[in-house]
Structure 1
Amino acid sequence: MTALGLAAVLAGCGGSGGPDGVTLRMVAADYGDGAAGSSRAYWERLVRAFEAKNPGVRVDVSVYSWNDVDAKVREMVDAGNPPDVAQIGAYADYAAKGLLYRADELLSIPVQADIVAQLAEAGQVDSVQYGIPFASSTRLLFYNKSLFAKAGLDAPTTWQELASAAQALRARGVKYPYALPLGPEEAQAETMQWLLSGGGGYTDPQLGTYSIDSAANVTTLNWLKNDLVGKGLTGPVAPGRLNRADAFAAFADGEVGMLNGHPALMQPARKKGVRFGMVPMPGADGPAEMSMGVADWMMAFKQNGNAEQAGTFLDFVYSERNVLEFSRRYDLLPVTTSASGVMAAARRDADLKPFLEQLPASELYPAGRTSWASISADVKKRVGAAVAPGGNPAAVLGGLQAAATRVENAG
C-alpha cells in the first residue's frame, strides 16, 4: 500500500469539541497513490457526516503514509500522548501493555457481531479482542494474459508448471518471468505466501508456536533458490533487492509474466492496458490449499478516557455504507459480514469476488503475538539472502526461528 509521504491534518475538524467539549484525535494510514487518491478525502467526508449527526463530538484526523504511520503512533505513545483512535498495522504490543480498550468496550453489540469472525479472532490477545480489523485483502497469482498467449501457456497450477511457464517467458525475452519481491518493503508477505503454498507457514497451528525452520519451509525456499532464482527466472533485480511496489509497477508496465498480487494491483494494470488473469497460488502438487490474508487494524487508546465517544465514532466508521465506500475506493475486502454480502452479490464488485472467495481459506499474520512486529522486521532483512547465490535456506530459517524463540521467551 502506497501513500503520501507527509501527514495531512484534515482542515475544519479541529476546535474545542461540541457541547461536551470532546475532541477525538485519530491517526490513520493513507491507502492512496497520490494527492488525488489520498485517504484524507475519505476521512474528511466521513468526519463531516459524523459530526453533523453527533454535535457533541469533534474528530481531528491526521493521515500519514504507510512508511511513517506506525512510527508516528509509537512516538506519540512513547511521549505519553497517544491518539484516541489509531488505524495502523499492528496492535498487539499496545494491548499487551494495557494501553487499549477492548473491542467490546467500544463497539455496540450489532457492530461487533458484524465483524467477520476470522478477522475478529485475529484481533485477539490472550482470547480478548483489542484489534478491530479495518481493511483486509488476500493474494492471488496474477499473470499477463498477452504474454502467456504469445508463449502458448495456460495459467500454472503447480510449482513445476510455474517454473516451466517462467522458462518459456524468459525465452521470449520477458524481463521478469516471475517477479519475486523479497526486498525490505514487504518480504514477509511474499515469503508467507510461498511457505503456505508448500504446506508450511510461520506458525504451527496445532502447537501455536513459531515453526519458521520447519522441514516444509526449508523445502519451499530450497525450491525457490534452485528452481526459480538459480535458473534466472526472477528477472534482473535480485529478489532481496526487489520491493513489492517496484514489482507491481513492472507488472503494470507489461514487464512481468507472473507475480503474487492483491486487489490494489488491478486498477493500475488496467489503466496501462495490461490484460491479466488471476488464479490461486500454485502449490507443490496442485493449487495451494491455503492463501495468505492480510488485515490492517483499528484501535482506541485508554489514556484520555473517551471510550464512549470513540465507540460512537467507530460504530459510524463500521456502518455498511462507510465500509463499502472505503473498500470500493481502494479495492480492498470489507471486514464486515454485511458489506461482504453486498459486494459478493454486486456486479460492480465482480473483480473482487475471487479475493473474497479466498478469505475463508486464508491465514493471516500472527498479529496477536507481541513478538510479530520484531519477527516481521527480521524476515524483511534476512530472507532475501536465503535464495541468493550461495544462500543457505536452512541456515537463514534457523536463524529466524532462533530469533523468534528469543523474542517469545523475553516476552
Structure 2
Amino acid sequence: MKTQRTRLALLLVMVLALTGVLSACGGGSKQADDGKVTISFLHWRGEDTQTFQKIIDAFEQKNPNIVVDMQTLTSDQYQTTAQAKLTDGSVGDVFASFPGAQFAALAKAGLFTDLTGESFLKNYNANLIEAGSQDGKQWAVPYQLVYNMPIYNKALFEKYGLTPPKDWEGFLKVCQTLKDNGIIPIAFAGGDIGPGQFMNTMVMNNEPSEDIFTKVEAGQAKLTDEFWVKTLTQFKELNDKGFFQPNSLGTKDPAAGALFIQGKAAMLASGSYQLSQNVKQNPELQQGLLAPITVSADQAKYEGVHTSTFMLAVNSRSKHPEEAKKFVEFLSQPDIAAQYANETGQNVTLKDIKYDSKELNIAQEWADKKTVFQPRYTIVNAENQKAVTNSIQAVLGGATPEQAAQDAQAIIDQQIGR
C-alpha cells in the first residue's frame, strides 16, 4: 500500500510539473484561471505605445474579462518576421499589416479573419479601406491615412516668392531658385526611406494606369517601358542639377529630417507622418505638403499620393477571435480613433474625425484633392518592390536610367519565372 501511495504521489507531481510546463509555453492568447482572456496585440508603431496603452486601459475597464497584451517590433523586423510569429496563433490575436507585399503574403497564408459585414466598418470611409480588401471581402481595416508627399517649408517658399509648382518645368525652377540662394532644395534620405517614398509622387503622373505595377508583376508591362525610364531620368535630372544634398545615397532618414527641421533644406522627401515630429523639434516651423508634377499641368491626372496603412486585422489562428474582434471594434469607435489621431499625430481613415492640431489639419486639407493610392504598395512581391527602389539608388549612383531599369526588370523576370 505504501508503494502504491508513493507511486500516486509521484504521478501527481509529474502531472503538476507538466501543467506548469504547458502554462509556461503559452503566450499571447490564453484563458486565465480567473476567467479572464488575454489577447495579444502585435504591431510596429513603437512610438504610439503610450497612447495605445491608454486606449487598452479604457478597453479593459469596459471589458473586464479581457486583457490586452501589446507587443511591438521595429517596422523592418515586422516586415520580415511577423508572418512567422502569427502562424501558430499564440501571438497577434489582433495585429497590424502593411498594405502591398505584406498584406498579399499574409492573405496567401490564410492569416486574416474575414471582417466583411462587421458593424464597425460603417465608421470608416469606404474608399480609404480598399487596401484591406481582396476578392470582395474585407480582411483588414486600414487605420492610418498618410500622404506620401514631400513636406515643404512655407516660410522659405514665401521668402523667395515661391509657390507649389503645377508642372515639371515649374518644379525645376523652384529647385533652382532655392539652390541659387544657398538652400538645399530637397532633403532626400537616399540611404533608407527616400527612394520608396519619393518614387510615389515622381511616378504618379508618369504611369499609364494605376495598375501598371500589377501589370509589370504579371509580365504584361516592363520597367523598361517609357513610364519608369522617364521617372528614373527625372530622378537623375534632380540629382545632376544638385537639387539633393551631397551624398544623398549615404543619408538616413533622421539626417535628412534634421536638414529640413533646421531650415537648411526647403523640402523633405517623406510624407505627412513626419509633420508632427518635425514641429516638436522646431515649433516655429511652418509646413505644407506638395507633390512634384512630372508632366505639363494639362497632363496631370493626380495632385498627390495617399496611403491607407496600419491595417488592423484578427488572426485566423486566434483561439479567442470574438474577444479580438471586440478590441478592433473598440479601436474603430470615432472617439477612440480621434484620441489616437490627436495624441500620435496620425490622420485616420474614419469618418467625421475632429483633429485638434495644425499638422493633422494640414494633411486633412488633401482629403478633397485628387490623390492616387501609393504606387509602391501596388507591388505585392517584396523582391520586386526592392528591385524598383534599388533602380532609383542605382541611377543616383551613376547608372543610366535605361541600364537601371533593365537590371530591375531582370529581377522581376526571375520572380515571374519562379
Instruction: With the length of structure 2 as denominator, give the TM-score of the two structures.
Output: 0.79
Contact residue 46 and residue 72 of structure 2 kept, 8 A: no
Give % identity. Answer: 18
Q: Give 3-state SS (helix, strand or coil) of 1:329's partner.
A: helix
Aligned-partner Cα distance in 2 for 1:197–1:368: 15
By how many angstroms is 1:124 displaced?
A: 2.4
1:5-404 map, 5 Å: 16-17=31-32, 20-30=35-45, 32=47, 39-77=48-86, 81-89=90-98, 90-104=102-116, 109-174=118-183, 176-200=184-208, 203-204=211-212, 211=221, 212-225=223-236, 227-238=237-248, 240-271=249-280, 272=282, 273-286=284-297, 288-290=300-302, 291-294=304-307, 295-339=309-353, 342-343=354-355, 350-358=361-369, 361-365=371-375, 367=377, 370-371=380-381, 373-389=382-398, 391-404=399-412
Cα displacement (A) at 1:93: 0.8
Distance 1:327 1:215, change over 3 A: same
| C-alpha contact (below 8 Å) 1:92/1:125 kept by paired residues | no
- CA change 1:200–1:179 in 2 (3 A) is farther
For residue 266 of structure 2, give the secondary structure of its aligned residue in structure 1. strand
1:374 to 1:306, Cα distance in 2 relative to 1, 3 A: farther
Distance 1:206 1:94 in 2: 18
Secondary structure at the aligned position of 2:172 is classed as helix
> CA, structure 1 residues 130+14, in 2 after alignment: closer, same or farther (shift >3 Å)?
closer
Question: Which whole-Å CA distance do the structure 2 matches of 1:31 and 1:310 have between them?
Answer: 20
Provide the secondary structure at the position in 2 that maps to 1:25: strand
State whether residues 17 and 56 of structure 1, in contact with CA within 8 Å, keep that contact through their aligned partners in structure 2.
Answer: no
| 2:305 counterpart letter in structure 1 | M
Per-residue Cα deviation, 1:343-398 (whole angstroms, up to 9, x for no partner) = 5x99895333223234x632234657652x33223334442112333x12223223
Higher helix share: 2
Deviation at 1:54, TM superposition (A): 1.4
Q: Which has the larger radius of gyration?
A: 2
Which ranges of structure 2 fall in alignment gaps of 5 or more residues?
Answer: 1-27
SS for the counterpart of 1:86 is: strand
Does the CA-based 8 Å contact 2:197-2:271 persist in structure 1? no
Name the SS of the counterpart of 1:191 in structure 2: helix
The residue that corresponds to 2:5 in the other structure is none
- State the shift of 1:236 in Å: 0.9
Residue identity matched to 1:91: F
Task: For residue 103 of structure 1, give the secondary structure of its aligned residue in structure 2.
Answer: coil
- Partners of 2:74 and 2:126 lie apart in 1 by 28
Q: How many Å apart are 1:315 and its aligned residue?
A: 0.3
Cα distance in structure 2, aligned partners of 1:366 and 1:96:
19
Relative distance call for 1:283 and 1:183 in structure 2 (3 A) is: same
Structure 2 counterpart of 1:407, which letter? Q
* Distance 1:370-1:264 versus aligned 2 partners, 3 A rule: closer
